[in-house]
Amino acid sequence: MQYTMQGERLTHLSLSWRHIKGLIAAIAILVALTIFIPFGSTAYAATNRELEPNDTVQTATAVVVNSQYVGNLSDICDVDFYKFTLTALGSVTLKLQFVPDGGYNVCLFGYDASGSTNDIQYTLMSGSNMLSSITQYGEKVCLPAGTYYISISEYSNSYHDFYMNSDYTLTVQLDLPATAAPKITKQPKSAVYYVKQTATPLTVTAASQDKGSIKYQWYSNTKNSTSGAKAISGATKASYTPPTTKAGALYYFCKVKNTNTATSPGTKTVNSTIVYVRTAPDFNKKVVTVAPDAKTGLRIDVPGQAKTAGIQVGLWANNSGANQRYYLTRTADGYYRLKCVDSGLYLTVKGGTAKEGAAIVQAKSSTSKAQKFKIKYVSSGKYLLISALNSGYVIATKGTSPASGAKIVLEKRNAASKTQVFRLNVVKPAIASGSVVTIKNVSTGGYMQVSKSSTANNAALVLNKRQLVPSQQFKLVYVASTGYYRVIPQNSGLPLSVSATKTFANGAKVFQIMSGTTLNQQWDIKKNSDGTYTFYQPNSRLVLDAKGASKAQGTSVIIWPLTGGTNQKWVLTKG
């Protein structure tokens, strides 16, 4: 097809078109070959340049559709060749930009199966009398996928010679079908796990709707939003297993990307549903104290260290006593039972019915739902204790504000309540269980020892100078169900104890006795800020003491009210 432009008059000289052999005539596509001459404008920036030599079809510069290429005819005889490939049917616009007063021959052609060419030739010209207009040329043709060539040469006729030795800009603009968004047919689901519990993978199922390829990238965030989310390294599959190594909550979603180079813009991304994965602390077989969030210096407490069933629990100042500690066990259905370390009885909804103000008492073990509670995460360290009797009822402090002596009851859940949220503080070992240590008194410098290295029951504990003997070595064994330690002399294997009838007696002697499970044979070992340790008797909270702070050999080890004196502080040294 040939056009000639003279002045402002466009004359159609000739039109020639041969169908490419073997092409699928039934499929129509639009190839709009548009060449325009800009009026006094600056050519837009190009990112590529022709690769010389490109004077033949064989050396044609390969161009990428929808990219700009800058070229230059170095002399009147120079011809620049380019080639591009269509991977699918599409609408193509061929653009050539050049400065006014220029003229070019532009030829677009391809080869059929026999090697013959099929071309459409445009003769372009610009003269000084055309600077007031932009002229476009176009023709609807049918071209399938394939490789095509463009030749650009100088235009001249008997009236003008347009060679200028200036740059031109070539663009092959391919208008492709729009890239289809991937279709998600299965969304991930939110979940709650315990620390170190194996998580079910988050999974998204998606498919391309235009025969493209699907890729995945999972993201995490601390808030319910895609804004600020971070890509998870290596999480590029349809499924991702979230970690449950520590307590907390994170939000997750997956970016699903469909890629199809035969479409425009070539990629399309959609996000899955945002889900949360909450990892709650695993309280199973842990000892905790339970404090109201509104007043953390208080603890749920069995009044008077009562050992009888039916006693309603309440709040009292934290004293680390065994009557303020609860051993938690998780049931098969995900609920917890809370057993008081001191009494061995379980927190129970009195009467076995969920109703407003029902008392929380301690009772003997049973399979009743009245002794089962769901621990629901609220925020960092804060929880609701939801009754298995009715999920709308929770443990609460009676009244409008937690106070010492307040009773613990069951209430309907109220999100605005300040008395229904509790902190569960896990009791952690002060020193590694199984450690073998020597125990030296800070005040006297004497080392704790079984008197005369006896292996007999009821042998007393005394202080002596350092000796390399097993009776001055003690194994500290942590009791997971109480959070306390048994202190066992290595010579006898009999744990340190006080008389069960004298645990509250100031000055009661400490001795070794045949092993048992009672609290008078256990010790609450607390580390002090100066690195020393204090040994508390769990029930009475009396502490190990060097009697009279005497430095004499054989000084008795007794229990005494806490004074903070150095005769109640001990240095533990391994070995």
Q: Which CATH number covers residue 216? A: 2.60.40.10
Q: Once rounded to an integer, what is the mean pLDDT over residues 354-372?
A: 97
One domain for residues 498 and 556? yes
Q: What is the DSSP string of 237-262?
A: SSEE----SSSEEEEEEEEEEEE-TT
Gap between the Cα atoms of 479 and 420, Å rounded = 30
One domain for residues 160 and 27? yes
One domain for residues 202 and 306? no
Which residues are CB-contacts of 186 (< 8 A; sequence separation ≥ 6)? 203, 204, 205
Would you say 286 and 481 are in contact if contact means Cβ atoms under 8 Å apart?
no
pTM of full prediction above 0.75: no
Q: What percent of the chain has pLDDT over 90?
A: 63
One domain for residues 23 and 169? yes
Only one residue has tokens 């938690």, namely 328
pLDDT value, residue 100? 60
Only one residue has tokens 């990428």, namely 64
pLDDT value at 116 more than 70: no
From 426, 449, 469, the end of a domain falls on: 426
Q: What is the CATH number of the domain that holds 159?
A: 2.60.120.380
Gap between the Cα atoms of 147 and 17, Å rounded = 18
Residue 321 lies in domain: 286-426
pLDDT value, residue 125? 41
Confidence of residue 73 (pLDDT cuts 50, 70, 90): confident
Q: Once rounded to an integer, what is the mean pLDDT over residues 79-95?
A: 81
Q: Once rounded to an integer, what is the mean pLDDT over residues 432-446?
A: 96
pLDDT value, residue 400? 87
pLDDT value, residue 172? 82
Gap between the Cα atoms of 392 and 354, Å rounded = 9
pLDDT value at 542 more than 60: yes
One domain for residues 450 and 553? yes
CB-CB neighbours of 78 under 10 Å:
17
Of 144, 150, 161, 192, nearest in space to 31 by CA: 144
One domain for residues 375 and 246? no
Between 186 and 380, residue with greater pLDDT: 186
Confidence of residue 470 (pLDDT cuts 50, 70, 90): very high
Which residues are CB-contacts of 12 (< 8 A; sequence separation ≥ 6)? 3
Range with the lowest mean pLDDT among 83-92, 98-107, 139-148, 215-224?
A: 139-148
pLDDT value at 143 more than 70: no
Residue 525 has phi, psi (to 5 degrees) of -90, 120
Residue type, 500: A
Would you say 440 and 446 are in contact if contact means Cβ atoms under 8 Å apart?
yes
Only one residue has tokens 């220029």, namely 102
Longest dimension (CA), the chain: 130
Strand-pair partners of 98: none
From 280, 304, 329, the end of a domain falls on: 280
pLDDT value, residue 346? 98
Confidence of residue 115 (pLDDT cuts 50, 70, 90): low
pLDDT value at 230 more than 80: yes
Assigned token pair, 555: 């000084």
pLDDT value, residue 206? 97
Q: Once rounded to an integer, what is the mean pLDDT over residues 323-339?
A: 95
Q: What is the mean pLDDT of the chain?
A: 84
Gap between the Cα atoms of 78 and 54, Å rounded = 10
One domain for residues 338 and 464? no
pLDDT value at 12 more than 50: no
One domain for residues 35 and 90? yes
Between 524 and 46, residue with greater pLDDT: 524
pLDDT value, residue 23? 31
Assigned token pair, 487: 């202190």
Q: Once rounded to an integer, what is the mean pLDDT over residues 481-499?
A: 95
Q: What's 359's DSSP letter? A: B
Gap between the Cα atoms of 523 and 526, Å rounded = 9
From 255, 280, 305, the end of a domain falls on: 280
pLDDT value, residue 162? 55
Q: Once rounded to an integer, what is the mean pLDDT over residues 199-221?
A: 97
Kindly report, residue by residue over 279-295, the tens digit of the pLDDT: 888 899 999 999 999 88
Looking at the 3D structure of the chain, how many domains does it have?
Answer: 4
Confidence of residue 121 (pLDDT cuts 50, 70, 90): very low
One domain for residues 448 and 554? yes
One domain for residues 445 and 412? no
Between 360 and 151, residue with greater pLDDT: 360
Q: What is the CATH number of the domain that holds 347?
A: 2.80.10.50
One domain for residues 292 and 390? yes
One domain for residues 13 and 143? yes
